Structure 1
Amino acid sequence: MKILFLVPDGVGIRNYLYSDLIPELRSCNAEICLYHKVSKSAIKEIEIVHKIKIENKEISDLNETFYLKFLRESTAYARLIYFKDFLKNKTILNFWGKNPTSFKLKAFYFSCKTLGTYLSKNYNLLRRYELKYEEKIKTTKAYQKAKEDLKILQPDFIINLHQRAPITTPVILAAQELRIKNSTVIFSWDNIPKGRLICRPDMYFVWSELMKKQLCLLYKEISPESVYIVGSPQFEFYKKKEFQQSKEAFFRQYKLDTSKKTICFSGDDKLTTPYDQFFLEDLCSSIQEFPKNERPQIIFRRCPVDFSDRYDFVLEKYKNDIVIVNPDWRVETPSQETNFTMIYPAYTDISLLVNTCLHSDVVVNLGSTMAHDFAVFDKPCLYVNYNPKRDENWSVEMLYQFEHFKSMENLDAVGWVNTPSELYPLLKIALSTPDLIAKERKQWLKKIIQHPLEKNSINLATQILEKCTSAS
């Protein structure tokens, strides 16, 4: 049997293609093929990790016509409005994220919003337009090329590693016409309310019961029988001893002080948290209140896709308190830094992230998934919850009203820093008696992701193999 991984960009490489998923499939004599839009060096890294040669083929570009893009964007906006009304959460519209500058683009997106608003009032009509988009995709060269490629590759099963990439639509639709079983993972814990489920594969692999309920609630056409709870392999790395260094070795490598408590500040992308640099500055200022012989050190891990210089002034000002431990992600050329098809995590970044979490005592950030990463090691997270700057287009209140944060309702899942002056006292507690901060962090983690974590690759591989066998 042959399993084809649909890889539209580099961000899913660590979570799935570096995990035990490929070895689990190969242990049952499955062939592996990558149908991808990533760099040659990324493919080579995957092959080195698993010590195998992997059949691979590049996906053709999808050159959307004006009408195709109009249909896609209009239905995406309609989804957001529908979700906003259905869930009674107006922050969902923030995921639209369009801020055109030219008159032509302003007119285009105004038209998309106009049609989208109309479609959002009638779910059946919305679905007709989504299906119309799929029918139009079938008239493209990308669709015909996908059919030709799949006939040559002859996979028994296809798994898409990112549900929102438009380039995957022709492949999924071609697979359905050729009667090849096909599926998608839901890439992240916050993806479903964002309204970018591009097409409807045969089956869905999700993180948890919570995610399954949300997917079926918001997409009426998706049957619960087609949704499988398997977790996400990205968390199993934390359970593997081979990725863990001793504290002494890790600290020696990055010139950290083993006698000091350690705070990790994890950055986010510039769009999500435009004022992250000021949160880092407040954190650095707050640790000055500790007696000098008790002052903790800060590990700064920036977001892998944030190449901005916005932190530079803080890093210089507090260079004696901050140790930079940047993620190890690779880009093909500097001009392609924002191109997700040309950026990917190196395998070494797994160990880097594991040891950052393992050997830090607490993590501070603005609403980051790193709260879950630290919870794996039963370590607390402090969410900053104040506005460092006045901005009519952005606020922490808006961010924490996003739908995925409702999963922590009635749980003491994180510590809340409501003013800069609260950082010092909360850090004192988190560093000295961590069990008093975010006491239910493990419960939140179990709500978000299927346990046991170390079985997530096995769960997904088992489902793929079962469906693959039943399809043959």
Structure 2
Amino acid sequence: MNKKVFVFFPDGVGLRNFAFTQFKELGEERGNTIVYWNNTVFSLEKELGYKELPLKNHKIHPLTPLYTRARKHVELNVSQKKFKDPVYATYKFPFSYKGIKNILKSVFTQILIGFNSSEAGIIRIRKRINSLERSTKKYQYCKAQLQAHKPDLVFCTTQRATQSISALLAAQDLGIPTVGFVYSWDNVPKAMQLIETDFYCVWSDLMKKEVLTYYPFIKEHQVFVTGTPQFEPHFDTRLAQSRMDFCNQHNLDYHKKYICFSGDDETTSPLDQFYLEDLAQAVRSLNSKGHNLGIIYRKCPVDTTTRYEKIVQQYQDVIAVIDPLWTSKGTQWNEILPTKADLGLLYNVCEHSEFVANVCSSTVFDFVLHNKSCLYFNYEQPQLKKGIRDIGQNYNYVHFRSMPSPDAAVFCTHKKDLEFFVEQILEEKVSNVSVGKKWFDIVASNHPSVASKTIWDTIETILKN
């Protein structure tokens, strides 16, 4: 095809999908020149030897965060009214009133919401955001870079970053086609669509239907179902370690059967450490009855809290910690970035664990690709009190309605049943694998191993037309 494609990283969340997979190699095999248009603190040139064009101006308009937050609330208000469904209210984060600055921001945002909670209001806010971003020096900076380097297309690796708005507007104003990738399986109903591109790549037919439902200004011909490169590494057997090598590397007992506990971020599961404790207690009890079990604790990569430490220390006889191979480039969550090595680590944690246990994590899909079950905790902890979020609301979210049946995961709804379910899964009397694979097909499409190829097919189609 011999085209120059800018792969745009407004933040680091797309690195795993578009820098560490086969995406770049596949594009180059087709004769394309790939330049990473890089707004992150991760240097692709230094770390990977990839050609990159850094964005050194990171300043969005100071009002943009307030307008984008208002837009999110307005979209959720409109969805709640349109679909007569209270779930959309649960996607909202509370406003902060600590200090004068936060009070002023919160009041201003709420005024915006009050005057714009309609379809017409969404349009007004979208136009205002675009106007604000076009007025910035960052917009002029991005426009100058595009004029100097003349890409044939800009592919944006996530749809949810405010940092991307001015850059994509600059491309569109220069007549350069733009494509946005919808990053995560739960993003569309949550009103996390901050960018407006000429075309969109989505995971599945389900996600395409959602995009067209929630964003009526997007037309069907603009949305392409491609899958996501996120799951491609699970099909790369070159990443596989032998059981002995894996256990030796991580100081595990070769003869033990390990259950993976994958941690959540503090927002999703604020009492997550106590579910780890419950699992550790169940494992201890089963070990006393003749089992030989352990737990691999893999924390959420962006969780910087110390809330698990006491539990890990108290149950060190059964809990082994294997941290994700992510690297911190700053203090914000979006400055904690994945590494290529973590793709192999996750592959082998899946491969050498019996099953995974967590609160509503998408790791259900990672493990089902290795024919391993997922146990979801779905009961309240006694530490739950006013002001702490109940994890039960997670399972009411729209993206969980995509399950083909309740058997798509093994739900533990009472702590007293946890030991029973653990033993039933280990003895292969209970499994969600077959239904979980159907769920995966619904959410991520049924050709997950060739998502990068499908995205390049889509890019070629757009450039030809």
Please report the TM-score for the alignment, with normalisation by the length of structure 2: 0.94
Cα deviation digits, residues 222-273 of structure 1 (max 9, x gap): 1011000000011110001111111221112112223222100000111111
SS at match of 1:194: coil
Task: Determine the C-alpha separation between the residues in 2 that align with 1:246 and 1:218.
Answer: 46
Deviates more, 1:250-259 or 1:110-119: 110-119
Match of 1:197 among 193, 199, 207: 193
CA contact (8 A) 2:404 2:438 kept: no
**Cα distance, 1:444 vs. partner?**
0.6
Q: How many residues align?
A: 459
Task: Determine the C-alpha separation between the residues in 2 that align with 1:295 and 1:212.
Answer: 45
Distance 1:43-1:10 versus aligned 2 partners, 3 A rule? farther
Distance 1:320-1:70 versus aligned 2 partners, 3 A rule? closer
Match of 2:304 among 301, 304, 307: 307
Match of residue 50 from structure 1: none
Question: For residues 2-401 of structure 1, what are the structure 2 equivalents within 5 Å?
Answer: 2-47=4-49, 53-66=50-63, 68-100=64-96, 101-120=98-117, 122-292=118-288, 293-332=290-329, 336-340=330-334, 342-388=335-381, 389-393=383-387, 394-401=389-396
1:447 equivalent in alignment to 2:442: yes
**Cα distance, 1:150 vs. partner?**
0.6
Match of residue 463 from structure 1: 458
Amino acid corresponding to residue 12 of structure 1 in structure 2: G
SS at match of 2:40: coil
CA contact (8 A) 1:78 1:118 kept: no
Higher relative contact order (CA 8 A, sep 6+): 1
Distance 1:435-1:459 versus aligned 2 partners, 3 A rule? farther
Q: Which ranges of structure 2 fall in alignment gaps of 5 or more residues?
A: none
Deviates more, 1:139-148 or 1:210-219: 139-148
Task: Determine the C-alpha separation between the residues in 1 that align with 2:34 and 2:445.
Answer: 25
Distance 1:56-1:171 versus aligned 2 partners, 3 A rule? same
Amino acid corresponding to residue 25 of structure 2 in structure 1: P
CA contact (8 A) 1:330 1:346 kept: yes
Cα deviation digits, residues 402-436 of structure 1 (max 9, x gap): 11111115341001111211110000111111654
Please report the TM-score for the alignment, with normalisation by the length of structure 1: 0.93
Task: Determine the C-alpha separation between the residues in 2 that align with 1:201 and 1:431.
Answer: 47
Cα deviation digits, residues 333-387 of structure 1 (max 9, x gap): xxx24252x3321211111000001111110000001011111112110000011
Task: Determine the C-alpha separation between the residues in 2 that align with 1:211 and 1:229.
Answer: 8
Task: Determine the C-alpha separation between the residues in 2 that align with 1:22 and 1:469.
Answer: 20
Task: Determine the C-alpha separation between the residues in 2 that align with 1:110 and 1:391.
Answer: 28
Amino acid corresponding to residue 391 of structure 1 in structure 2: K
**Cα distance, 1:80 vs. partner?**
1.6
Identity %: 28
CA contact (8 A) 2:60 2:163 kept: no
Cα deviation digits, residues 84-107 of structure 1 (max 9, x gap): 233343333343324412233224
Q: Which ranges of structure 1 fall in alignment gaps of 5 or more residues?
A: 48-52
